[in-house]
Structure 1
Amino acid sequence: MPAFFKPPFRRANHPATQLVAWLGLTLATASQVGAQLTEPVSSEQVASLQWPTSYRPTTTPVIQHQKSDAPAPPYLYHTRHFRLTTSKPLNPHNAKLFAATAESVPAVLAKLPLPLLKMPQGKRANIYIYPDEASFIREGGSPNAAGTYVGKKSAVLLRADTFLTPPPRQGSKLPPKADYDLLVHEFTHLCMHGHLGYLPIWFSEGTAEYLAAAHQSHGRYDFSNMTRHIRDRIKQHLPQEKGIIKLPSLSDTLKQNHQSWQRNIEQNDPNVSYQYYASSLLIVHGLFHGGPKRLKATTEFVNQCHNRKFRHKASNLLLPSETHAELEQRIITYWRPKGLHIQFTP
């Protein structure tokens, strides 16, 4: 057995060691291709990489209603980084919560030890909230989606009927709540706009899901218990068959491009299309929390994706195809005692 299949620590039962173990294969492969990475991260930089345990806003973000002489709607609101246009006015509670959640995303991305924050050029990034599905789709939104990031517009599109005034939850007597985790997901794409077309879709979507899982409420994030947050998020979105959650194979997930990902959303039930999000989330979690060397490899991966020659083979260099079966088994083993019983399907 090659050395890089072996866990780098002897304490194999320790949760952190288990995570490092299933990524041991990945790291060594990334190290082997280090000579091809023209902008390596120095050992000093690796030593300084510290993943935050939590994030809480230190100030209350301001949201201002921009008055206009034109008859309303639309209604226009400004926060520090975003420009919101909506067909319905926001009540004070929603406005405050929207601002806190929106402004938390660039702030928390800036805190992560990865070069992920690349917002659109210009003073403020655009968000549009449409009254219904028809207007949402007409302007570029995806069918079956409550929100969409549209790269060509450098904007996030949301549906008021599913975001601001969502339908009641099935089987619940509690009043429906706006899905601010959805906001975090889409705003992560918007705040990583400069990486559009460079990073593979599985990494972008996995990162957006990671932050959505970490988000608690009001722009607060907890990174100290990501296994629980990820488990709960995946179980919330995916049905279980006899306690088992079925996911597409890693090879299938990693080969997806933006076009095939979009077709998957448009042609399938949300429970089916989310399988690729879940698979991507598990991969990204391992890259982020597999130790400083894994983080170094991931940082090099992000940097080099802007290199045209590297970009087309980036995923295979970080996660070589010949390692996928072994990596799937490591993921299954790591997550089983944490409450996720996973089965990868061809």
Structure 2
Amino acid sequence: MSFRPSRIILAMCCTIVLIEAAEAEDAVYRPWKDAQGRVIQAAFVSATADSVTLKLADGKEHQLSLARLCAEDQAFVKSQSAAAAPAPATAQGTAPAVTAPSLDRVPVEKRTWPENVVVPTKSIEIQVVEENPAARKCVYRSEGFEFTSQAKLAGSVMKEVARTFEATKTLVSSLPWGVVCLPPEGFERYQAELFETRKDYIAAGGPENSGGVYMSGDKIFRVPFPSIGLKLLGKTYAKDDNYDGGTLIHEITHQVMDAYLTFLPVWVIEGTAEYTEMLPYNAGKFRADAHQKGLKDHITEMQKRGYAIEIGNLEEHLKMNRATWSGIANTTNRKMGELYFQSVLAVYFFCHLDGDKKGTRFIKFMDAVYGDTEAMRTFFKDPRVKHLEGGRFSYPTDFPPPDMKSETAPFKHLELLLDGRSYSQIAKEMTEAYKDTGVKISVN
């Protein structure tokens, strides 16, 4: 959970400017239509299971969710991907193996950091599933989330609440980390529970000193009304326009990255959530391209609160296991704050200051973790795996699960970040890189 005062960040999916048709030597341009009927001219580049990369006439490439496209264009993407898949080789007299077409992920070198993006209106259209105020159970759905509220909320209010959730999901999936945001196994949508009072929230398991929390055990995000900017005016709840909801962004980031949490060091888990929280937001526009300003504003705020710009022993921080982290973080809120601050400084370095300054090493690291999430997903879908009560499962001895041990699983891809360098060398590079941005950091 985030320990510091927060600000609302509305993440967004890529906005594509309407352009005239253009020709290119190596690309075939065609009209593409989104679900709202807006048309652009672009060329197909590649696709994943849930997104497509298009090239505009100016040469820039944009990754979009397949769900944003009209049905005809979704079918076109699938046909392109299937056509690109090689036919399986067969031996004489042997029937060909039947395999599903494979959709390739966007190559690391073709990924770009988003600039200004806006969450689509369609994502925050609200469906009322159930409204029973007497039973304190009202259920609403947006495109990717299901909200169970203790009180009835007007459609316009619920839409504003959903905007933050949907925007955060879109932000995380738009970053070049390559995170595929899918609801946990067995859920059609991500789940959130909204509580009228902090007392209700704490009774449901919310930590005393938190404004909201994602619990990976039952896959539910729990948050009290005040933490999402809801206030009671007469007999109706309204959204506070001055509300600052960065803590909410932090926890939603954990929620949409749930499949990755098992395979990430704690500093990456908290550092990426702090990263999304610190990005500038204004009037519906999420400035992902102003990440340096977001970082410096965050550093200024932390300095005002008496925190030093330091990481200390880099190797100890990057290799810190969860037991050690919890032991430090649970000491005092300040100790927790120090760990969070150190983590976002490290994540920012690997995303924007390391090596080619395009985050290539970090993106490769996250891609390796994506491979772990797919291996885990494949394992649990296998009919040989039996799901038991309490989240337990059984499996044959000749079909072991992927490594999910907290002592080893989060650290097996750290070598991709080191890339042959010692920790002391990276510490030196980090010091110099931050110095070039005007930030003096202490790290060894």
2: distance between equivalents of 1:156 and 1:62? Answer: 20
Residue equivalent to 1:291: 358
Question: Which structure has greater strand proportion?
Answer: 2
2:272 maps to which residue?
Answer: 207
What secondary structure does 2:217 align onto? Answer: helix
Assess, with a 3 A threshold, how the Cα gap between structure 1 residues 115 and 84 changes in structure 2: closer, same or farther: same
* Alpha carbons 2:113, 2:289 under 8 Å: kept: no
Among candidates 99, 103, 107, match of residue 170 of structure 2: 107
Contact 2:219–2:255 under 8 Å retained in 1:
yes
Residues 1:89 and 1:131: Cα distance change in structure 2 (over 3 Å): same
How high is the TM-score relative to the length of structure 2?
0.57
Matches of residues 131-280 of structure 1 in structure 2 within 5 Å?
131-164=196-229, 177-214=242-279, 216-217=281-282, 220-237=285-302, 239=304, 241=306, 244-269=308-333, 271-280=334-343
Q: Which residue of 2 aligns with 1:302?
A: 369
The amino acid across from 1:268 in the alignment is T
Unaligned 5+ segments in structure 2 are 1-103, 232-239, 374-401
Q: Conserved in 2, the CA contact under 8 Å of 1:63 and 1:79?
A: yes
Q: CA deviation at 1:339?
A: 5.2
Aligned to 1:331: 430
- Cα pair 1:202 1:254 within 8 Å, conserved: yes
**Aligned-partner SS, 1:67:** strand
What do residues 250-299 of structure 1 show as CA deviations (whole Å, max 9, x unaligned)?
23422333444445444312x43122222221222233233264255324
- Runs (4+) off by over 6 Å: none
Q: Whole-Å Cα distance in 2 between the matches of residues 263 and 91 of structure 1?
A: 43
Give the % identical residues. 21
Name 2:64's counterpart in structure 1: none
Where 2:213 maps in the other structure, the secondary structure is strand
1:142–1:266 contact (8 Å) kept in structure 2: no
Q: CA RMSD in A?
A: 3.5
- 1:312, distance to aligned residue in structure 2 (A): 5.2
Q: Distance in 2 between matches of 1:140 and 1:180?
A: 21
**Do 1:130 and 1:160's aligned partners in 2 also have CA atoms closer than 8 Å?**
yes
Match status 1:130 vs 2:225: no
**Which amino acid letter does the alignment assign opposite residue 145 of structure 2?**
F
More helix by share: 1
User: Could you say what secondary structure the match of 1:308 adopts?
Assistant: coil
Which is higher, the Rg of structure 1 or of structure 2? Answer: 2
Question: How far 1:102 sits from its partner (Å)?
Answer: 1.1
Contact 2:265 2:321 (8 Å CA) reproduced: yes
Q: Whose relative contact order is higher, 1 or 2, with alpha carbons under 8 Å and at least 6 apart?
A: 1
- Mapped partners of 2:302, 2:156: distance in 1: 27
Q: In structure 2, do the counterparts of structure 1 residues 138 and 247 end up closer, same or farther at CA, with 3 Å as the change threshold?
A: farther
Separation of aligned partners in 2, 1:151 and 1:282: 25
What is the TM-score normalised by the length of structure 1? 0.71
